[in-house]
Amino acid sequence: MLLHDSLGCVALWRDFPARLAQASGRRVIAYDRLGFGRSTAYSGKLPPSFIEDEAHGSFRALCQQLGLSRFVLLGHSVGGGMAVSCAAAYAEACRGLITESAQAFVDTATLDGIRIAERQFAMPGQLERLQRYHAEKAEWVLHAWIDTWLSDAFRQWSLDEQLAKVECPLLALHGDHDEYGSRLHPERICALASGPSDLQILLDCGHVPHREHPETVLAAITRFLAQLDNAAFT
């Protein structure tokens, strides 16, 4: 199960889901969260609890619709935080968790990166990039990211409580040049998760490892999945 980032959607995974399915021999499912991509528009603003809420919202509805009783989760960026929350909420069903460039708390580096992106999206033609994927929802998508993360109400957010409930094996992938957070994030994720964990820092890599270094990411994930199948984690 793939959970996308703050500006993402199924289409923005590009060919990664297909390549992952081919490399792993597993069924790969990606979905648009409410308000993103080809989904229905979201009514109102995101609440500060939106990351934790995903486990009991669209994700639960999708699992029920597809009859999924066991799964491995892979979340990119804020989708990684949502994947943590889903793994915590459905500990018996979640066999493994992969976070990619996930934020574990609100820090200065993350906020600085968002402010830079805010200025870039204010330039002529930039919003049209999002409209290709989110159509009339593009402006909402952008502000849902920027306004939520920069709000005072969100300043104390962290994954600490959810991580303590994660019992499955965990793989945390993070670029050494991630513009939205340092290695402190995956280190915290691995340190606080209850189950066995593996932290891999990808060299010369920014915030989107599956696009910047796809072969390395696919190899790391397939090794992790093979370990799950072979019960190699202790």
Residue 45 has pLDDT above 70, yes or no: yes
pLDDT tops 80 at residue 43 = yes
Residue 203: inside a domain, yes or no?
Answer: yes
pLDDT at 219 over 60: yes
- Span 158-169, average pLDDT: 97
Task: Classify residue 7: in a domain, yes or no.
Answer: yes
- pLDDT above 80: residue 194: yes
Condensed to tens digits (0 to 9), the pLDDT of residues 105-161 reads 999 999 999 999 999 999 999 999 999 999 999 999 999 999 999 999 999 999 999
Residues ≥6 apart with Cβ < 8 Å to 164? 88, 192, 193, 194
Residue 193 in any domain: the answer is: yes
pLDDT of residue 234: 47
How large is the average pLDDT for residues 172-180? Answer: 98
Q: Please state, in angstroms and as integers, the Cα–Cα distance from residue 208 to each residue in 43, 54, 104, 185, 186, following that order.
A: 29, 22, 16, 15, 14
CATH code at position 78: 3.40.50.1820
Helix (H) or strand (E) run with residue 111 in it: helix 108-121
pLDDT at 232 over 70: no
Q: What is the pLDDT of residue 230?
A: 85
Q: Read out DSSP for 82-107?
A: HHHHHHHHTTTTEEEEEEES---B--
Domain annotation covers residue 234 = no
Q: In the chain, how many domains are there? A: 1
Q: Tell me 28's DSSP state.
A: -
**pTM value?**
0.96
Residues of the chain with pLDDT > 90, as a percent, come to: 97
> Is position 148 within any domain?
yes
Q: Give a yes or no: residue 225 inside a domain.
A: yes
| 67 located within any domain | yes
Q: Is the pLDDT of residue 210 over 60?
A: yes
Residue 217 belongs to domain spanning: 2-229
In a domain, 151, yes or no: yes
Task: Tell me what pLDDT residue 233 has.
Answer: 57
